With several copies, the nearest count.
Chain A
Amino acid sequence: MYSEKVMDHFMNPRNMGEIENASGVGVVGNPKCGDIMKIYLDIEDGIIKDVKFKTFGCGAAVATSSMATELVKGKTIEEALKVTNKAVMEALDGLPPVKVHCSVLAEEAIHAALWDYAQKNGIEIEGLKPPVDHDDHHHDIHEDDE
């Protein structure tokens, strides 16, 4: 089901944990759907010096969290913003179709943490939209049957 990379990031998650007094914290997802991702960012001079995550969710949720943190660590805010869910998926050698939403969640978690950072510091980050609410997010795996 999962690629070796996914399994590696699930079994040995990078950057798991919390950051006290983080510059920005983002939480996305919803326990109803079975995934919540929380991202902590430590930002200095526009650079992500440290990043941690906590995730409640399936193997793909953990692995995409782990990979997303790896991809933004040490990057500028602008670079971090360009880390899309596709980039996360590619870095993990792909995800099963039913798990693609996890990578979307990882992208959104990073964005949410950046948004929180921006809010706290009264700055505006170009191209960053406010976090969306995931209450009505659906997992539809049916395809062209009807």
Chain B
Amino acid sequence: MHKIYFDHAATTSTRKEVVDIMLPYFTESFGNPSSVYEIARKNKQAVDEARQKTADLLGADFNEIYFTSGGTESDNWAIKGVAESYKSKGNHIITSAIEHHAVLHTCQYLESKGYEVTYLPVDEYGQVNPEDVRKAIKDTTILISIMYANNEIGTIQPIEEIGRIAKERGVLFHTDAVQAMGHIPIDVKKANVDLLSFSGHKFHGPKGIGALYIRKGVRIKPLLHGGAQERNRRAGTENVPGIVGLAAALELAIRDMEENNKKMLELRDYIIRGITERIEHVKLNGHPTKRLPNNINFTFDFIEGESLLLLLDSKGIYCSSGSACTSGSLDPSHVLLAIGLPHERAHGSLRITLGDENTKEEADYLLEVLPSVVQRLRDMSPLYEEFKRKNK
């Protein structure tokens, strides 16, 4: 049976080359970078090189890159750390309704601590209107956090513009770039961001490692207290293999980005066309053009997403419905609700996220299998029964 992985937004495999680069840091060069002796100094150097490489790839400075345990920690740190540092200035935070839970739940937590949070709406394509950001800024606003690209529907936000407004108004701007990093070009200076989160495993790097870009001059309280690592800002023995792996994976992702994106864009649009042509009662979610080159998200009316995933799974096709990270919850995706889908249609979404290894043959197989799978679930659905009765 085919085994087709179409869930690259959930996580990716660590590239073989990346694992090879990491390996010596587990067994031979295992020293603690904070120690003074030779083998440890070598590891300090490896961490420094990874930091420099990462900084260069983002247009940042060496001292502006801080390694964390992943996108979630980066988001939590950025938001809580800035909120705490600037609370004498104000208590208002602006974010969007379609952020990842790592941002949303952090903001909700801060609300319980006396902060005020504005959750900006998005349009039907999932875009935040920069003018809404401008209008939401008050004297007490200390942080704006708007994601670079959405993990479910792939919509890319007007980050530069929002950043420009934030700068004009002297408000710090954080962006969750977990889905964008390694997938579309990012330059922190051009993007006008003060803080930027990303996570290794979304671009063929290892899991359990991420980073936060913190522009020089931004004050931020630590989230993890302890040792003096990461210039006293993020305690904990450095995950050397992870750090080295993250930088290597990012370098490769950015090196191959243009070529991969060209291929994925073609495949993406081929699948979108294929689904639209072959299946009735479907809707493409997200922006038609301002979307990640690897993201496809459809709603199939009358059916529920998990069932669809399970049937596709039985055919060897791995996709997701809403964010994999949120599957512990039974609520339909807050992102799909925010773009205006009613609950039952939000339940019936399918996300297909491509990787560079996906082929046209795989797309064809999906397009062959999907119509019958959808039909099978519709035949089982009392909602479809009702729809047919009404439209007889």
Contact = CB atoms under 8 A, between A and B. Distances in A.
Direct contact of A and B (CB under 8 A): yes
Contacts of B221: 145-146
Interface in B28-83: 36, 41, 44
A35 B41 CA distance: 23
A38 B228 contact: no
A29 B385 CA distance: 16
Contacts of B306: 58-59
Contacts, number: 92
A145 B330 contact: no
A112 to B, nearest CB: 13
Contact of B380 (A32, A34, A55): A55
Nearest to A36: B382
B231 A143 contact: yes
* Of listed B217, B222, B330, residue having the most chain A CB within 10 A: B330
A18 interface: yes
Nearest to A102: B330
Given A58-B306, A141-B232, A31 B314 contact: no
B233 interface: yes
A34 B383 contact: no
A95 to B, nearest CB: 13
Q: Classify chain B's interface size.
A: 35 or more
A139 interface: yes
A141 B302 contact: no
A139 B327 CA distance: 13
Given A31-B343, A36-B382, A36-B383, A58 B304 contact: yes
A54 B380 contact: yes
A115 interface: no
Interface string A18-60: 1000000001000111111110000000000000001111110
Interface residues of A, number: 32
Contact of B330 (A13, A27, A33): A33
Nearest to B385: A54
Interface string B296-334: 000000111111001100100000000000001111100
A56 B302 CA distance: 7
A142 interface: yes
A144 B304 CA distance: 30
Interface in A128-145: 139, 141-145
Contacts of B231: 143
Given A11-B314, A56-B302, A98-B328, A146 B380 contact: no
A77 interface: no
* Of listed B36, B304, B342, B347, residue having the most chain A CB within 10 A: B304
* For the complex of A and B, 3 pairs with smallest distance between CB atoms: A31-B344, A58-B306, A32-B343
25 contacts: A1-B41, A11-B314, A13-B380, A16-B380, A31-B343, A31-B347, A32-B332, A32-B343, A34-B330, A35-B304, A36-B383, A37-B382, A38-B382, A54-B382, A55-B381, A56-B383, A56-B384, A59-B36, A59-B306, A139-B330, A142-B232, A143-B231, A145-B219, A145-B222, A146-B221
Interface of B: 36, 41, 44, 85, 216-217, 219-222, 228, 231-233, 302-307, 310-311, 314, 328-332, 342-344, 347, 379-385
